[in-house]
Amino acid sequence: MNLKNNNGSSKIKRRNFFYYLGVSALGVFSVSKLLVNIFKSKINKVLTERNASQKPVVKPNPYAVKRDSGGIKNG
């Protein structure tokens, strides 16, 4: 029977662990920012095209309750 005793040589060293952790965090952050910027530019493009073609029509509600207080508090 052949037993291997590597004394932890298969383990990752602490310094390398933090290095790999930092590089992976930087990679995830940069990819997420890249994807957000791509989708944001597409959404802004669609919204500007839609807003340029149609303007919202704003008109007062004829059934709304009107206030006649004139800014004077009762009290």
**Which pLDDT value is given to residue 74?**
61
Q: Is 71 helix (H, G, I), strand (E, B) or coil?
A: coil
13-72 pLDDT, tens per residue? 888 899 999 999 999 999 888 888 888 888 888 877 776 667 778 898 889 887 776 666
**pTM above 0.85?**
no
**Which pLDDT value is given to residue 3?**
53
Question: Domain residue spans in the chain?
Answer: 12-54
Residue 6 reports pLDDT greater than 60: no
| Runs of H (alpha helix) within the chain | 14-53
- Tokens in use for 53? 């073609």
